[in-house]
Amino acid sequence: MPTKIIETVPNFSEGRRVEVVQAIVEAVRSTSGGARVLDISSDPDHNRSVLTMAGEEEQIRASILRLFEAALQHIDLRTHRGEHPRLGAVDVVPFVPVKGVAMADCVRLARSLGEEIAGRFQVPVYLYEEAATAEHRRNLAEIRKGEFEGLPRKMKDPLWAPDFGPSEPHPAAGATVIGGREFLIAFNVNLSTADVQIADRIARAIRHSSGGLRYCKAMGVILSERRIAQVSINMVNFKKTPLHRVVEMVKSEAARYGVNVVGSEIVGLVPQDALLAAAGFYLGLEDFHGSQVLENRLAEPGD
Amino acid sequence: MPTKIIETVPNFSEGRRVEVVQAIVEAVRSTSGGARVLDISSDPDHNRSVLTMAGEEEQIRASILRLFEAALQHIDLRTHRGEHPRLGAVDVVPFVPVKGVAMADCVRLARSLGEEIAGRFQVPVYLYEEAATAEHRRNLAEIRKGEFEGLPRKMKDPLWAPDFGPSEPHPAAGATVIGGREFLIAFNVNLSTADVQIADRIARAIRHSSGGLRYCKAMGVILSERRIAQVSINMVNFKKTPLHRVVEMVKSEAARYGVNVVGSEIVGLVPQDALLAAAGFYLGLEDFHGSQVLENRLAEPGD
């Protein structure tokens, strides 16, 4: 296993034409010296696909350049329709520090790769989140407002000049948003009630936007088959807002409605550190270090 | 990282002559195609050293043969004194299934390597724990009773004929005990009291020998510098008696003395699964699988 790992989760604007998705994924997967493709997920309603990849910086760089090449060859946003807001053929590319890598490294990668993409493909690039060059450009939703169709006008506004590349959108591929962010854990907590309003109230209590934990987004949903309500959570920085604090707060809020937590689930991937931190909290571990995990010791460079 | 991992923790009878320990360790470490040496710990009072190694079966086999070669060259038990009971120059060699390996594989390895060692070095070999060939030979302490000095007499008893090798001890190297066992986690729980009797009572409540959890050994000790009592625990099968159950039982027993758990520690290495199980229990995870851990996905064979 490489000792320095970056994750990237590029979103591209095709989720209906299976043969196009396959062609793009195959191009990325076969990149020589490229990153490991861990997951592919396409949504026909959104008309959009999400790739999850991980590897060392140079592998990530090679795979993302190949993705742009393939996406620009196959996608024309002038004929693209879908429910999910989008700005470009390759819509957004976040870099996530996973192991032996700092956020600063991901920001540096976002900037240098953003510049290279703008130059090579003539696609305007916006930097977002940790890589943003101004406060009003941190938030992806703000950058994407007006979408592909609104780009020619939006780009005339000096506040929305791109960070790299031409001052007009690429005719078919629009613009791209690139940046650095923390690992996102999709974490759902199931309740002993079918009343979605209770899940909603708990979600409001724990989430940042309504006064709760800083790096927590949440909403109430109903699992109709199991007939239980669920607090559906995005943990956007598990190092600062850890899993155990969210679970304990959900339990405490649920208690006032006479409701229990009946279970939870992690959707997709989770960094080992997030679970070690939960074990450490509940077991009360003092001075524990990840290198005490046997598998980690074996993965360290040899002696 | 290899996909099949066995751990071995051989104990050899030298912990005072630093140059001898170094020579033996260096021989093992430089074994061509050998296992990875993860830890070395020598105790002068015990006059004994413990090596922790891990690797695939063939690597383990090569390293253990090299260890016998080096130990027989340097150690003569006729002049060896120490507080820890011992039977041989290489005293005991357990094989532990860690990843992608079953206990049956470790038992098979113990038997075939035991036979090879007996033949090549003329050292009688006893099989113990999961590899034992009779119930009265499972327990290491029973096999070791009488120690090196008592071996000539003990071996005349048909109940104590060795599993492999000559029917008399090796003159300088005695006999060796080889077997298969589960991973041992050394886990200590610290209490909000300096009264070691409370730690002792809790230890008696949780340990198998006095009515407690099946795969738990425990005793009370005092940490004189920190002036706190500690329940010192050996978890001999964390899959069947998991960490969280031990911690929760210690908390519950401590409460009746008005004592709290103030922390805990894992001494040395711990398999990732033991901590994932604790996180899973406390977070209430449903359908969680180790392959959802990002690092594990990356360590899987490529696609």
Number of Cα atoms under 13 Å in the Cβ half of residue B1: 24
Report the chain B residue with the minimal C-alpha distance to residue A293.
B270
Using an 8 Å CB-CB cutoff, list chain B residues near A296.
Answer: 272, 295
For chain A, percent of residues with pLDDT exceeding 70: 98
Give the contacts of B22 (CB within 8 A, at least 6 positions apart).
none
Among candidate residues B238, B230, B298, B235, the one with its CA nearest the CA of residue B262? B230
Per-chain mean pLDDT for chain A: 95
Of B1, B281, B292, the CB nearest to A1: B1
Sheet holding A261-267, edge to edge: A216-223, A228-235, A185-191, A261-267
Beta bridge partners of A5: A99
Contact of B250 with B261, CB cutoff 8 Å: yes
3-class SS of residue B12: strand
Residue B109 CA to residue A79 CA, distance in Å, equals 64
Q: What b/e readout covers A50-89, taking b as 16+ CB neighbours within 10 angstroms? A: bbbbbbbbebbbbbbbbbbbbbbebbebeebebeeebbbb
* Cα of B44 to nearest chain A Cα, Å: 25
Report the chain B residue with the minimal C-alpha distance to residue A301.
B1
pLDDT higher than 50, residue A124: yes
Among candidate residues A241, A290, A235, the one with its CA nearest the CA of residue A266? A235
Q: How confident is the model at residue A126 (pLDDT cuts 50, 70, 90)?
A: very high
CB atoms within 10 A of CB A27: 18
CB atoms within 10 A of CB B225: 6
For chain A, percent of residues with pLDDT exceeding 90: 88
What is the model's pLDDT at position B2? 65
Of B29, B286, B292, the CB nearest to A269: B292
pLDDT higher than 70, residue A274: yes
Of A151-165, A218-232, A275-289, B19-33, the one with minimum mean pLDDT is A218-232
Using an 8 Å CB-CB cutoff, list chain B residues near A261.
Answer: 284
Report the chain B residue with the minimal C-alpha distance to residue A291.
B269
Of B1, B288, B297, the CB nearest to A295: B1
Of B98, B264, B286, the CB nearest to A284: B264
Using an 8 Å CB-CB cutoff, list chain A residues near B2.
Answer: 298
A84 is catalytic: yes
Report the chain A residue with the minimal C-alpha distance to residue B275.
A279
* Cα of A7 to nearest chain B Cα, Å: 10
What is the model's pLDDT at position B83? 83
Report the chain A residue with the minimal C-alpha distance to residue B277.
A279
What is the model's pLDDT at position A302? 61
User: Are the beta carbons of A292 and B298 separated by less than 8 Å?
Assistant: no
DSSP output for chain A: --SSEEEE--EES-SS-HHHHHHHHHHHHT-TT-PEEEEEEEETTTTEEEEEEEE-HHHHHHHHHHHHHHHHHH--GGG---SS--SBSEEEEEEEEEES--HHHHHHHHHHHHHHHHHHH---EEEEETT-SSGGGS-HHHHHTTHHHHHHHHTTSGGG--SBS-SS-BTTTB-EEEEE-PPPEEEEEEES---HHHHHHHHHHHBGGGTSBTTEEEEEEEETTTTEEEEEEEES-TTTS-HHHHHHHHHHHHHTTT--EEEEEEES-B-HHHHHHHHHHHHTBSS--GGGBHHHHHHSPP-
What is the model's pLDDT at position B303? 47
Q: Which amino acid belongs to residue B289? A: H
Q: Which amino acid belongs to residue B277? A: A
User: Are the beta carbons of A190 and B286 separated by less than 8 Å?
Assistant: yes
What radius of gyration do chain B's Cα atoms show?
Answer: 21
Strand pairing report for B90-99 and B176-180: parallel
Report the chain B residue with the minimal C-alpha distance to residue A287.
B265
What is the model's pLDDT at position A303? 47
What is the model's pLDDT at position A1? 56
Residue B134, judged by CB atoms within 10 A of its CB (0-12, 13-18, 19+), counts as exposed
* Cα of A44 to nearest chain B Cα, Å: 25
Residue B126 CA to residue B179 CA, distance in Å, equals 8
Through-space distance between the first and last CA atoms of chain A, rounded to whole angstroms: 16
Digit-coded pLDDT (tens) for B183-211: 999 999 999 999 999 999 999 999 999 99
User: Which residue positions in chain B have pLDDT lower than 70?
Assistant: 1-2, 302-303
* Catalytic, out of B74, B84, B208, B244: B84
Best residue in B259, B275, B288, B300 for a mutation probing chain A (most A CBs within 10 Å):
B275
User: Are the beta carbons of A295 and B7 separated by less than 8 Å?
Assistant: no
Using an 8 Å CB-CB cutoff, list chain B residues near A54.
Answer: 294, 297-298
Best residue in B233, B265, B298 for a mutation probing chain A (most A CBs within 10 Å):
B298
Residue B44 CA to residue A101 CA, distance in Å, equals 41
User: Are the beta carbons of A269 and B294 separated by less than 8 Å?
Assistant: yes
User: Are the beta carbons of A294 and B263 separated by less than 8 Å?
Assistant: no
User: Are the beta carbons of B296 and A5 separated by less than 8 Å?
Assistant: no
Give the contacts of A79 (CB within 8 A, at least 6 positions apart).
none
Instruction: Please state whether B31 falls in left (phi above 0), alpha (psi between -120 and 50) or beta.
Output: beta
Using an 8 Å CB-CB cutoff, list chain A residues near B295.
Answer: 1, 5, 99, 271-272, 295-296, 299
* Cα of A106 to nearest chain B Cα, Å: 18
Could you tell me how many residues make up chain A?
Answer: 303
What is the model's pLDDT at position A46? 87
Digit-coded pLDDT (tens) for A179-202: 999 999 999 999 999 999 999 999
Q: Record the tokens describing residue A170, joined without a space.
A: 């690429």
Using an 8 Å CB-CB cutoff, list chain A residues near B286.
Answer: 190, 263-265
Q: Could you report the predicted ipTM of this complex, rounded to two decimals? A: 0.83
- Cα angle B4-B140-B158, degrees, rounded to a multiple of 5: 115
Secondary structure string (H, E, C) spanning B38-106: EEEEEECCCCEEEEEEEECHHHHHHHHHHHHHHHHHHCCHHHCCCCCCCCECEEEEEEEEEECCCHHHH
Tokens 């939960």 sit at which residue?
Answer: A278
* Cα of B285 to nearest chain A Cα, Å: 5
* Catalytic, out of A46, A74, A80, A84: A84
